Structure 1
Amino acid sequence: MKILILTGKFGMGHYQAAQAIKEELENNPKDDIEIIDWIEYLTPGCAKYIYAGYSSLIGHNTFFYNYHYRKSENYPPNRTPDHALACYVKMHRLIQQKRPDLIISVLAFCSQAVSYYKSLSGCPVPLITCITDITGHPEWINRCTDAYTAASDEVRSALIQKGVPENQIFVTGIPVRRKFKNRTASGNPRPKLLLMGGGLGLLPKRLDFYKLLNDAVPAEITLIAGKNEKLRQKLENRFEHIHVMGYVHNIETYFHDADIVVTKPGGITTFEAIHSETPMIALNPKLHQEKYNADFIERHHIGEQLAIFDDYQAVMAIARFVSHPQKIRDCRQQMQVMKASLDCCPLTDVIGHVIKSYPLGGSASNEILSFNF
């Protein structure tokens, strides 16, 4: 079976989710699985500028992003994608080239593009949308989607309220790579704290914050600056208890070695922490969906949310969490319970459910080519 996984590199979370799905499905040697960066495929000459613009927006001014996100929460589902004509033409070319039996999307824009193409062309290739947020935002909901994977029961309920049939929704969690799922007891003599801000390294810039962190938090701290090279150079070898790293390719090792992770609560990062059983402190979530994720973390008792922009108060709150080993153990136990519930519905079961109703192969020959834009 030929499977296409469509994604994008807005940050690195969506691409990591695509890699996790490919890893899970590669157990079947008969499957041919390929990851496609849809933004790169759609606009090969502009993709790097689109990604750079997104990084700049998220890093320097989240107001416009959050304004659009809040406004779009009230939009109806099944929206026509931006650049609809280009999406149709490029999707037709992609399907003719690759002849997929199944498409899996981990980016809302990809799901919109595939659904739009299917609705106009009559293409029968089934589409599974893996929602990588812990929300039921309408941007994920499209008429020609055949199944949705949701992070939690709350997301499932939100999708049902927006009109998605119950039998199309499967609670699988957000896909994470296998390496995150095998934690061994760390037994650190002094607590270890992992501080990170995603692939872009979106962390506090103030030097006073890190000085307080070094002096007041009773832990050995590993700070992963990601692609934020300016921050890495600013902090490297500056503090006794803060070990600074740049971008790393084995982030799961640091999750497993840590007793607590302090980070921006992206959807993928949250589930990487759950699977590695590392309690979370969601530090000052700025993006609107990250605030939903932080609420999820608190509601399920797998960590804390710190919406505190005063350096001293934020550091003292982190210190209290680090100094409370029973709370850390309780959070880890809740994560174990959550992991066990997610194991009941693997993605392979979702695929098996979907393809029963669809013929495999020869998708293009069944299309009714239409250009009714």
Structure 2
Amino acid sequence: MGEERRKVLFISAPVGAGHVRAAQAVGAALRRLAPGVATEFANVFDFFSPRLGKAILAGYLKVLDVFPQAYGAAYGWGNSSRLALAGRAAVSGFLAGRMERYIAVSRPDVVVVSHATPAGLVAHLAARGRLAAPTVAVVTDFVVHRLWVYPELGMYCVAHEGLRDYLAAAGVPRERSAVTGIPVDGRFAAPLGKREARAALGLREDAPVVLIMGGGAGVLPMAEIVAGLEALARPLQLVAVAGRNEALRRRLTAEAGRLKFCTLEALGFVDNVDVLMAAADLLVSKPGGLTAAEALARGLPLLIFRPIPGQEDANTAFLTAHGAAVRVESAGELAALAGGMLAERAAGLEALSSAALDLGRPGAAEAVGRLILDRLVK
């Protein structure tokens, strides 16, 4: 099929690390499935002025940190307001010209989007006959926001069947959506035992491991969580991933020396989440779509700490309804629940792990990759 001459363009947004990681996972899967296919990655902020892009990202992170209720209100408004739909159309029209020029130079055979904003730009071009390449949308949460819905897009890849129902009700024919799961790195599909993973990380066999993750930006009160777990007065091995939040990593590193019962290793940005999750008994995290999908693939029970209103709430509702996670609202509640679960591998922990494995789709990236390859030969 002349794969060596084919190119797939991925367009995402660095608003949280998950959208970009999903695109990278699918790109890697494509290269495994069809080594002759070229992949290219673009950031939707490439179509903004650099100053505006930085300001938008900084403002988004600040709102999440200081006033998450405002984000939740905006999320709900976008799901119900006609004015929101008009606003997205205006934004798409304003930015689509820059994207069109980029695509004209890139000349992709398929365009894949993993965030709602580039999805809108691509749909704007497709609706006006200014984009000939087939399009694929990869939704990276367990919910579809209305601002993700564009009947002009060729195919949607979603986490579960309920999202296909939602898209069909919103005007996307069922034959143009597929349940693939949320794409995770291919390493999550490789079995890795707890003993082997702990040996690779230098962790002990004789104490439970709690993994604490706050996403790429490290937006989680990890010091508060660590203090709550230390107050249990039992030996725990804590591994905290602060992402790109260097100030948080330094604070946790300083805190580690003051702990009496727990050990604490504070990490920055890592590329071995698959090993960390294989080594852990329990994950404490926000319910970002990618992080949750990775935990499900490893069968790792998840304690969700104070989800932000919006897609985090929706992801939490899905995961808790299926028995793969538990929601907690305070460090004290978290510590008490974690302590009970970790006591002699309590049955509740095993039930969460089993439910997570049932939901997990470690081969999601390959499933999306095959759908993209189908479009390359049509």
| 1:235–1:352 Cα change, 3 Å | closer
| 1:284–1:14 Cα change, 3 Å | same
SS at match of 1:83: helix
User: By how many angstroms is 1:205 displaced?
Assistant: 6.2
Corresponding letter in the other structure for 1:346: A
Aligned partner (choices 4, 8, 27) of residue 22 of structure 1: 27
**Does residue 65 of the first structure (1) align with residue 71 of the second (2)?**
yes
TM-score by length of 1: 0.87
Q: Which residue does the alignment assign to 1:368?
A: none
Deviates more, 1:166-175 or 1:150-159: 150-159
Aligned partner (choices 272, 276, 280) of residue 258 of structure 1: 280
CA distance in 2, matches of 1:321, 1:81: 48
Per-residue Cα deviation, 1:105-145 (whole angstroms, up to 9, x for no partner): 00000010001012123432111110112112111111210
Please provide the CA RMSD for this pair: 2.4
**Does residue 332 of the first structure (1) align with residue 353 of the second (2)?**
yes
CA distance in 1, matches of 2:275, 2:374: 34
| 1:264–1:340 Cα change, 3 Å | closer
Aligned residues: 354
Per-residue Cα deviation, 1:338-365 (whole angstroms, up to 9, x for no partner): 34696698113322444565xxxxxxxx
CA distance in 2, matches of 1:89, 1:68: 26
TM-score by length of 2: 0.86
| 1:52–1:92 Cα change, 3 Å | same
Q: Is the 8 A contact 2:182 2:361 kept in 1?
A: no
CA distance in 1, matches of 2:37, 2:49: 28
Aligned partner (choices 369, 372, 375) of residue 348 of structure 1: 369
Q: Which residue does the alignment assign to 2:226?
A: 210
CA distance in 1, matches of 2:186, 2:366: 16
| 1:181–1:143 Cα change, 3 Å | same
Q: Which residue does the alignment assign to 1:3?
A: 8
Q: Is the 8 A contact 2:151 2:171 kept in 1?
A: no
| 1:300–1:47 Cα change, 3 Å | same
Q: Which residue does the alignment assign to 2:169?
A: 161
**Does residue 104 of the first structure (1) align with residue 112 of the second (2)?**
yes
CA distance in 1, matches of 2:123, 2:321: 33
| 1:305–1:205 Cα change, 3 Å | closer
> Which of the pair is proportionally richer in helix?
2
CA distance in 2, matches of 1:345, 1:223: 30
Q: Which residue does the alignment assign to 2:124?
A: 116
Q: Is the 8 A contact 2:323 2:352 kept in 1?
A: yes
User: By how many angstroms is 1:330 displaced?
Assistant: 2.6
CA distance in 2, matches of 1:355, 1:74: 36
Per-residue Cα deviation, 1:234-270 (whole angstroms, up to 9, x for no partner): 2322324122222223222211211111100001111
Aligned partner (choices 231, 235, 238) of residue 248 of structure 2: 231
Aligned partner (choices 308, 311, 324) of residue 302 of structure 1: 324
Q: Is the 8 A contact 1:84 1:113 kept in 2?
A: yes
User: By how many angstroms is 1:181 displaced?
Assistant: 2.4
SS at match of 1:148: strand
**Does residue 39 of the first structure (1) align with residue 45 of the second (2)?**
yes
SS at match of 2:150: coil
Q: Is the 8 A contact 1:146 1:354 kept in 2?
A: no
Q: Which residue does the alignment assign to 1:201?
A: 218
Q: Is the 8 A contact 2:26 2:365 kept in 1?
A: no
Q: Which residue does the alignment assign to 1:48?
A: 54
User: By how many angstroms is 1:337 displaced?
Assistant: 2.8
CA distance in 2, matches of 1:6, 1:50: 17
User: By how many angstroms is 1:104 displaced?
Assistant: 0.3
Q: Which residue does the alignment assign to 2:201?
A: none
Corresponding letter in the other structure for 2:174: E
CA distance in 2, matches of 1:247, 1:142: 34
| 1:161–1:334 Cα change, 3 Å | same
Q: Which residue does the alignment assign to 1:314?
A: 334
Corresponding letter in the other structure for 1:320: G
Q: Which residue does the alignment assign to 2:239?
A: 222
**Which stretches in structure 2 are left out of the alignment for 5+ residues?**
1-5, 196-204
Percent identity, please: 25
Q: Which residue does the alignment assign to 1:130?
A: 138
